[in-house]
Chain A
Amino acid sequence: AQSVAQPEDQVNVAEGNPLTVKCTYSVSGNPYLFWYVQYPNRGLQFLLKYITGDNLVKGSYGFEAEFNKSQTSFHLKKPSALVSDSALYFCAVLTGFQKLVFGTGTRLLVSP
């Protein structure tokens, strides 16, 4: 079955430091990968996706992600974290029948 794994329930980082939220995938065929963010009491907001092309994908709010086929990873990164980046982050993979399969989520906490 096609799936993604987010190994960390929570990531803590100080404001101004770089952040990484990890995601690994398990798919057969070409992976189509997505990152979403959920702020408290809000819906899901799209951050970025990898469909094809460059392995380094740039997205909203200064986030980027690197598609690494050999390590089957799609880690989310930002060079300098903001307190306002504190939220719940979901990695997802598009499977057959256009089903989006989500990871369990990683809570990012950025301290001042």
Chain B
Amino acid sequence: EAQVTQNPRYLITVTGKKLTVTCSQNMNHEYMSWYRQDPGLGLRQIYYSMNVEVTDKGDVPEGYKVSRKEKRNFPLILESPSPNQTSLYFCASSPWQLPPATNYGYTFGSGTRLTVV
């Protein structure tokens, strides 16, 4: 089954304790991206990657790091989490198509609910 797998689904941590949220896709997609969802703000892009070893900042990158050493994996790293990073996080992948073909689409993971206390 084509999917994006995120782990963990739920995480409660303390301020300053480094954590990694993993993301893996099995569709051989070039493009991967991380979003955070907050009430009233919708989903905002944190980082994205157009291919292996190519990453760039999205709209809200502060406090986050990413890496893309393999095509299938795109982990999100919080070096020193703070309470304002409490949020629902989504990983997504898509084929690289500009302009998009009619069958184009993003595939989203199930989400990671992070609480930083």
Contacts and interface: CB of A to CB of B under 8 A. Distances in A.
Please determine whether chains A and B interact with each other in the same assembly.
yes
Contacts of A105: 40, 42
B94 A98 contact: yes
Contacts, number: 64
A53 B99 CA distance: 14
Interface residues of A, number: 26
Given A103-B42, A104-B41, A98 B110 contact: no
Given A51-B104, A100-B92, A42 B110 contact: yes
B101 A43 contact: no
A49 B99 CA distance: 14
Contacts of B48: 97-99
Contacts of A82: none
Nearest to B113: A41
Given A43-B111, A51-B100, A51-B104, A99 B42 contact: no
Interface of A: 9, 30, 32, 34, 36, 42-44, 46, 49, 51-53, 90, 92, 94, 96-105
Interface of B: 31, 33, 35, 40-45, 48, 50, 56, 58, 90, 92, 94, 96-102, 104-106, 108-111
